[in-house]
Each structure stands twice: as C-alpha cells, then as structure tokens.
Structure 1
Amino acid sequence: MLDIRRIYYEAAAAELPRGKEVLARFPEATLVEVESHNRIPELYGDESNVNRWVRIKQEALVLGVKKSLSARPNGRSADFIAPSTANGCAMSCAYCYVPRHKGYSNPITVFANIDKISGYVQRHAARQGVKPAGNECDPVAWVYDIGENSDCSVDALLSDNVRDLVELFRWIPTAKASFATKYVNRDLLDWDPQGRTRVRFSLMPQADAKLLDIRTSPIAERIAAIDDFVAAGYEVHVNFSPVVVRDGWLEAWSELFDQLDAGIGDAARQQLACEVIFLTHNRDLHEVNLGWHPKAEELLWRPELQQPKRSQNGSWNVRYRTGSKGHYVQALTDLIAERIPYCRVRYAF
C-alpha cells in the first residue's frame, strides 16, 4: 500500500511531536522542506503527473499543519464534518472527488497539529450539548465525520491521528465519530472504541470494484471484517457507493446483498444501516482518468444517461438524469428491502 520515499514537510509540522513521530517512521525517506502543504508544484496541478498517478500516491507523503479549524454542518452522513487530520489517499478509486481539488495527484497529507484538532472537536461537541432530537445521522448522538477527505484506515498506517480521535470520542457522551473506508486495517480492532465510533465499509459489486476501486481491499475482505469490528466495539454500517448504472447492474447488486447477508452474523445485522449514493462524476476528473485508466470511464462517463450540473466551486459535474435517477433509486432500495430487510436505509440519493 505505501512505500514512502519522499516526505514534503512544513518546518512547523516537523517541530511538533506528531510530526517528529511521522518522520521517525520513515528514516530512509528523502526530506523536502516546503512553504505550504497545499502548494507543491511537482505534486499538484502538473498534468504530466497523470502518468505517475499511482506511484506518487504510494511513494510521496506530505506533512503539514492544519491552519483552519471548523466543523461544517452536513446533515446526511454526519451532523458535522470535523476538521481533517489528513487529506488525500494512497488508494486510487477512479471516481474519487479529492483529486478534483488537488490537481493530478493526491498523496496523503498528514496534519501534525493533532492536539489543536482534537481540542477543537472536543470544545465544539461540548457547545452542542445534548442532541435535542434524533435524525437520519443518529437517533441520540451528534455524529462527526472524521475522514471526509481521506481514508482513516489507511491514515492509521502513517500516524496515530485517527486513534487519538477514536479514543477522544470514548469520553464525549453526546457525540460519536464516523468514517467511511475501503481498506481493512485490523490494527483498529485493538482500539476499544466503546461504541463511540461508526465505521462505514463501502461496498459495491466486485466486478465494478475490480475496475473502479483501485488499490483497495477486496469486497469479500471488507464484508468478512464486519463481524470482527462489531465485536471490537465499533458501530458498523455500510455504504453502497457509488452505485453505477450499467447493463445488469441490479442483478450484480442483488448478488452483493446475498454475499453480505451470508457473511455477517446476528450482532452485525441488529445494528446495520446503510447509505446509498449513486454516482456523481466530474468532467475534469474524467479527463484525468483518460490519461491513466480509460477503461473506468466506459462505466463512469455515460452522456446518454447523465446530465450536467455546475457545482458550487464552478466545475461541471454529471449525474444520472432527473426522473430516471428516481427510478434507479427506488429499484435499488426495493432490492435492499427484499434481500437484506434488516438493513435500514439511512438515506439514498
């Protein structure tokens, strides 16, 4: 997964305890000091990097300081998006939105000021008080997504940032952490989250995952981990995401639901819920993918099925056409009710 050979670091990050720990993990890496973690010309915005897309993710690491701390309201997957402890990913999912913001590669950036981030989250949760009413995020607790811009299971290979947050939420009675993952990191089983962290394993039919979920854990391995994570004290949900419409797509999802049903026990079933997210793609990412993984675009870029929509940041996204998408969503949620009726659909869009 990772073979870190070069670390780009901000001087302030390298002076912090967490920064020193990260640097000590990779004593053979070449160190390159940079003024800012998000302005590194040889990594970001260089079109020639598309030919080294995966290699950069595997070999480069950025160490920085998170300067802006905020908890953004969300309302679907979580009540709030917590300040990031990392950004970027070592995996190479063809539909990932993070590269849209970072240019032609998005290696992991680890933020070394974890004490500031943890303190902010703790104070923010305290200000919320007791959740006045349940919602689709959770019936009781305020939910904080701690991995919006990265995969926390992979981040945990590089630093203790994620573990620090999981341990922090043990002691916040009104809130819980949450993150989605496509990587099975069994080191997390020893963290004793005491029910205060929700892990959302992302699932899709294996045939789709083989083409789109590059450098991730196989779907069967993710399903096999669910019971173990429940036994270790995590709340475990699943993300059916992204749902890609293609010939035979409903039959493929039916097989996946049967695979999930056969792979988990009663304890997992009793607490299982899901999020259903249909594909949204991006024109700029489409152009990037054509440079390194054009086969994926045969599934992702379907103008005959999709309509354009201008995003808030001004770029053009595509999603399944209004009207047709509603039928797709209904068909899949009906299939969930038929095949895995115990799995509550938290939201579907």
Structure 2
Amino acid sequence: MNARPLIDPQLIYLEPEVRQRRRGQDILARFPEARQVEVESHWRIPDLFNDPSSLDAWLRIKRDVLVLGVKKTLTMRPNGRSADFIAPSSSNGCAMACSYCYVPRRKGYANPVSLFVNLDEIADAIRRHALKLGRKGEANSIDPVDWVYDLGENGDLSVDATVSDNVRDLVAAFRSMPNAKGSFATKYVNRDLLGYDPQRRTRIRFSLMPPAMAKLVDVRTSPIGERIAAINDFVAAGYEVHANFSPVIVHENWEAEWKALFREIDDQLSPAARAQFKCEVIMLTHNAGLHEINMGWHPKGEAALWRPDLQEEKISESGMVNLRYRAAWKRQWLGRLRQWLEEAMPYCEVRYAF
C-alpha cells in the first residue's frame, strides 16, 4: 500500500483570481475532489491561522490543506549570505514540519503550503532585475561569476514541485539568464527534478545534520542518508549542489555525531561532486513564540531546541527577539565545527557561517 503524499489536499483555500490563471486552473484540476473555499487573501484565513485548536492537527493540516494565491510584491531584497538577492517567493509554508522553522512564527497555529499561481510574473521580475544588473563585476563568497537569487526563502521547492510546475518553470527561466543563478535549500529528495535540465544555472543546497538529531526535529523530511545519496545524481543531472549544514544544534554528543556525518558525506561524494561542493553553516536560532507552538504539537523536539542554559536573547535584523547560543560559546563551537569539517573534507569551502 502506497503512503499518502506529503501534500494531498482535501481542502483548498484560494483567492478568486486564482481561477483566472492558467497555473491555478492546472493545480485545481489535479485535485478535483478537494473542497474549494474562496478567501480574500492567502494571508488572512481566520479559520486556519488564528485558531489555537489547529495545533492539534498541525501535521494533518500540512497534508490535507493547500492555499492558492497571487504574489503581489515582486521586489528583490539584498541578502549577502546564501544569495545576492532574495527573489519573490513562488510559495510560502511547507508540507514538512521541521520544529526549528521560523515561518510558523509569522503565521500562527497552522503552516500549510501556499502556492502562488503567477509564476510567469515572478520569473519576469527576476529576469528584468538580472538584466538591469548586467554582469557581476566582482567575485564574492556567494558566487564568483553570477548573481544568485534565493528562490525558496519561505518553503521547500522540492516539495512544491509535487503539486505544480512552478519549480520546473523557474529552473527553465534561469537557463536563459546568462548572468544569474537560482538557488534553494531542500530537505526533500524529489527525483523528478533530475529531468528539469538545469544546465548549471540552478543551485540546490541539501540541508544536512546528524541523522539522530534529524529524526527528532526534521519531521516529514527525507532521511539524511537519502539526501546524501542524492547529491551525486543531482550533480550529474546538471545542478550545482552545495550543503546547508543547518541548524547546528549543540548537545552533549554533538561532536561525535557531526564528525560521523562529515565522514559519511566524504565517503559518498563522486569526484565531480567534490569538485564543486561548498557549504553554509548556520547555528540554531530559536524563538519563544515558536517554542510555545512546538510545545503544542512536538514537545520532544524542544528538549534539544529550547536550552536557556546555553542561549541568550538577541534582536534579529527584522526586530524579532530570538534566542541564540551565547556569543562567546557560539564562537568556540562554530570554530570547532569548522575544524572538524576541514579535517574530513578539506575541499569543501565554507561560503559563510554564523
């Protein structure tokens, strides 16, 4: 008996304009038996986002509910870490349920996938922006040649691709941009993407952490071993493939677990994968509001994430009060991790770490 897919909507909330868009029509046709409820805005769905009882159905909602809307804001935001710019998202929310994910902090008591059906406008906005920039005049840690646009800041495009052709169209769009690459992080191995012909114009960052910790906090994601095993195939299919070591969660056995992870990756990478392999390293950030949400659906994970004995408050760039590892300890721990990585995979450049 086949398991149900990560997204199998029984209920679709949609903005009225969705019915007029070809992509919206295509998605609705995929799920003819789903009940459809029109809403004024994909952001304002009181029955979904403002209902505390939704916590009891946190995982079910991710599978059974889909939201369709039109992306209104098509501006690029400077980034400087994973990418040069954050592109307008083709989605928001995720069918997976990583308990450290920051997106639920903004939505409230439910976080299903919202897909935007005006992908043509999103791709055109990126194309115009890249054309205006021209060639990248100076190499940086993001990329030595191309402007890089992060495409999946608020979701996971590998999962989105199981529901619509948005991701296929984005990959195709970057094939025709001679000075730009698309980039997104993923925790889901979707082998359909191997047929998208990216021609090295799309970078996939497989998010990786020790398997034992992933089993606790990476809920509904592909197993770490499966993600590692996919790297060579995605490189062979024409993607640039990096690792996103994130989040780094410090606990009593973290050194042995991370060293084992680095050895496993090194053992499996092909020569072609090694030649282009780079990474990002991101230490855990948590939040009191997210902690409260998690205690309602996955309290076990909070034993690793909520560590006031190791954490301190810090104001984020967006003005949010977050919890991060205490600054002096964080510097030491990050230095140790980079040393372990250098010893196991000296060819793996750390593009940035914080």
Q: TM-score, normalised by structure 2?
A: 0.97
Q: Which residue of 2 aligns with 1:163?
A: 168
> Is residue 2:277 matched to residue 1:277?
no
Q: Aligned ranges for residues 329-348 of structure 1 at < 5 Å?
A: 329-348=334-353
Separation (CA, whole Å) in 1 of partners of 2:148 and 2:316: 25
Q: Secondary structure at the match of 1:42?
A: helix
Separation (CA, whole Å) in 1 of partners of 2:73 and 2:14: 18
Q: Secondary structure at the match of 1:7?
A: strand
> Is residue 2:21 matched to residue 1:24?
no
Q: Which residue of 2 aligns with 1:63?
A: 68
* CA shift for structure 1 position 313: 4.5
The question of whether the paired residues in 2 share the 8 Å contact of 1:14 and 1:63 is answered with no
Q: Which residue of 1 aligns with 2:7?
A: 2
Q: Which residue of 1 aligns with 2:236?
A: 231
Q: Deviations over 1:250-284 (max 9, x none)?
A: 11000000111112111100100000000000110
> Is residue 2:333 matched to residue 1:325?
no
Q: Which runs of 4+ in 1 moved over 3 A?
A: 311-315
What amino acid is the match of 1:249? W
Separation (CA, whole Å) in 1 of partners of 2:306 and 2:238: 40
Separation (CA, whole Å) in 2 of partners of 1:233 and 1:320: 38
* CA shift for structure 1 position 314: 4.4
Q: Secondary structure at the match of 1:43?
A: helix
What amino acid is the match of 1:324? W
CA pair 47-311 structure 1, distance change in 2 beyond 3 A: farther
> Is residue 2:102 matched to residue 1:130?
no
Separation (CA, whole Å) in 1 of partners of 2:153 and 2:203: 14
Q: Which residue of 1 aligns with 2:98?
A: 93
* CA shift for structure 1 position 310: 2.8
What amino acid is the match of 2:173? L
> Is residue 2:309 matched to residue 1:304?
yes
Q: Deviations over 1:49-92 (max 9, x none)?
A: 11110000110000100011111000000000000111000000
What amino acid is the match of 1:103? G
Q: Secondary structure at the match of 2:281?
A: strand
> Is residue 2:147 matched to residue 1:142?
yes
CA pair 114-141 structure 1, distance change in 2 beyond 3 A: same
Separation (CA, whole Å) in 2 of partners of 1:255 and 1:313: 35
Q: Which sections of structure 1, spanning at least 5 residues, go unmatched?
A: none
Q: Which residue of 1 aligns with 2:51?
A: 46
* CA shift for structure 1 position 316: 2.2
* CA shift for structure 1 position 27: 0.6
Aligned-residue CA RMSD in angstroms?
Answer: 0.8
Q: Which residue of 2 aligns with 1:78?
A: 83
The question of whether the paired residues in 1 share the 8 Å contact of 2:207 and 2:245 is answered with yes
Separation (CA, whole Å) in 1 of partners of 2:142 and 2:91: 23
Separation (CA, whole Å) in 2 of partners of 1:275 and 1:224: 19
* CA shift for structure 1 position 311: 3.2
Separation (CA, whole Å) in 2 of partners of 1:331 and 1:14: 53
* CA shift for structure 1 position 45: 2.3
Q: Which residue of 1 aligns with 2:40?
A: 35
> Is residue 2:247 matched to residue 1:250?
no
User: Percent of counterpart pairs with the same letter?
Assistant: 61
The question of whether the paired residues in 1 share the 8 Å contact of 2:100 and 2:305 is answered with yes
Q: Deviations over 1:286-332 (max 9, x none)?
A: 00101111110000000010001233554421000011100001000
* CA shift for structure 1 position 225: 0.3
Q: TM-score, normalised by structure 1?
A: 0.99
Q: Which residue of 1 aligns with 2:209?
A: 204
What amino acid is the match of 1:162? V
> Is residue 2:18 matched to residue 1:13?
yes
Separation (CA, whole Å) in 2 of partners of 1:312 and 1:284: 17
Separation (CA, whole Å) in 2 of partners of 1:224 and 1:103: 35
What amino acid is the match of 1:330? G
CA pair 313-347 structure 1, distance change in 2 beyond 3 A: closer
The question of whether the paired residues in 1 share the 8 Å contact of 2:7 and 2:163 is answered with no
CA pair 45-310 structure 1, distance change in 2 beyond 3 A: farther
What amino acid is the match of 2:82? S
Q: Secondary structure at the match of 1:338?
A: helix
Q: Which sections of structure 2, spanning at least 5 residues, go unmatched?
A: 1-5
